[in-house]
Amino acid sequence: MLTKNRLSLTEYVKGVLDGDRMILSRAITLVESSLPSDQLIAEKVMEGILPYSGKSIRIGVTGVPGVGKSTFIESFGKILVEKGHKVAVLAVDPSSQQSHGSILGDKTRMENLASDKRAYIRPSPAGSTLGGVSARTREGMLLCEAAGFDVILIETVGVGQSEIAVKGMVDFFLLLMLAGAGDELQGIKKGIIEISDAMVINKADGSNQEAAKNARREYANALHLFPAKENGWIPPVKTCSSIYQTGLEEIWEMVVTYKQKMLVNGYWEDNRSRQRISWLHENIRYLFEQRFFQNEKIKNRMDQILPEIRLGKLSVMAKAKELVDIFTGQIKDIE
């Protein structure tokens, strides 16, 4: 028997493929659910839409808080819809680790783009998953593709390891930077630079234009110190103003050029193939962790050992191994 808020499998799949935005939202909510009954039908929905996915350009957008990611995405998205594209934005918001609530403010900040029928914005609470990336962002991306969106923009929260996780699910990874926020070269994080496909100095307008040009030169010079990418791509450094919509056309042309080159040299599909394998591993870890902590024997043993773990009286490493052995059946009974 279906619950009040759940559609049938056929209704979900047909609604997504028809581009029904309400059903698309409900399908994403379904795959984000941790309820076993929802997960069962979510698996079938994903199987049904999978042949119709994969035809978009997936772009990750990252940068420190305050760099203007949401403003950039809105301006960039508006240019793309005017070019005839359908744009989906998956904006992963930070969640409170105390209340587990989410800010979910991106839809408000992107009000103009959100009101355009050619665009779809889906804020998702990051929860406690790695780096603030929603555990089901990948599924949401595939659902959006099946619904006809040919450009997917994924915004990270810009903290922790979210950049690494998003890099592992997109075709092009864009790093937004600010000029005049201190010594630009000192502000470079080697790890994030190495995985970026382009750097863009945002807010290059008004009195900040000259500082943005200087920052662009410094970053461009610094990039020469990094090893060449395996795909042969040399990350460009550009400037833009999201408010005045300058430089955004050039950024899109850069992304298109990147895709063309990667299709020719075979990297495009190789990259996606590796991402699918990573997705498999990610889901295995997610499911094992979920089932591990739901196991009654594990719950009971955890209740027994946690007080002494808190006091530092037991070896965490030894007890972790013991719990895994209980879960895998290598230990049948614990006194």
Q: For residue 33, what is the DSSP state?
A: -
Distance CA 180, CA 214 (A): 9
Angle between helix axes 36-49 and 21-32 (nearest 10 degrees) is: 130
pLDDT tens column, 167-226: 889 999 999 988 865 544 444 566 777 889 999 999 999 888 899 998 898 888 888 778
Please tell me the predicted confidence (pLDDT) of residue 104: 46
CB 58 within 8 A of CB 162: no
Q: Where are the beta strands (DSSP E) in 94-171?
A: 119-125, 151-155
At the fourth CATH level, the homologous superfamily of domain 53-263 is P-loop containing nucleotide triphosphate hydrolases (3.40.50.300)
Structure tokens, 155: 């915004």
Number of neighbouring beta carbons within 10 Å of residue 115: 9
Q: Which residues contact 266 (CB under 8 A, 6 or more apart)?
A: none
Three-state DSSP state, 116? coil
pLDDT tens column, 222-255: 887 787 888 999 999 999 999 999 999 999 999 9
Q: Where in the chain is the domain with CATH 3.40.50.300?
A: 53-263
Number of neighbouring beta carbons within 10 Å of residue 33: 15
List the strands of the sheet with 151-155, edge to edge: 119-125, 87-93, 151-155, 57-62, 172-177, 198-201, 237-239
pLDDT at 76 over 70: yes
Structure tokens, 122: 């889906």
Mean per-residue pLDDT of the chain? 86
Structure tokens, 259: 């895709």
pLDDT at 108 over 80: no
Q: Which helix (H) or strand (E) holds 57?
A: strand 57-62
State the burial class of residue 3 (Cβ atoms within 10 Å of its Cβ: 0-12, 13-18, 19+).
exposed
Three-state DSSP state, 194? helix
| Chosen CATH of 1-52 out of 1.20.210.10, 1.20.5.170, 3.40.50.150, 1.10.287.3510 | 1.20.5.170
Band (334; pLDDT cuts 50, 70, 90):
low
pLDDT at 132 over 70: no
Regarding beta strands 198-201 and 237-239, do their DSSP bridges make them parallel or antiparallel, or are they unpaired? parallel
Largest Cα–Cα distance of the chain, in whole Å?
A: 72
**Overall pTM > 0.85:** yes
Please tell me the predicted confidence (pLDDT) of residue 111: 84
pLDDT at 124 over 50: yes
Q: Where in the chain is the domain with CATH 1.20.5.170?
A: 1-52
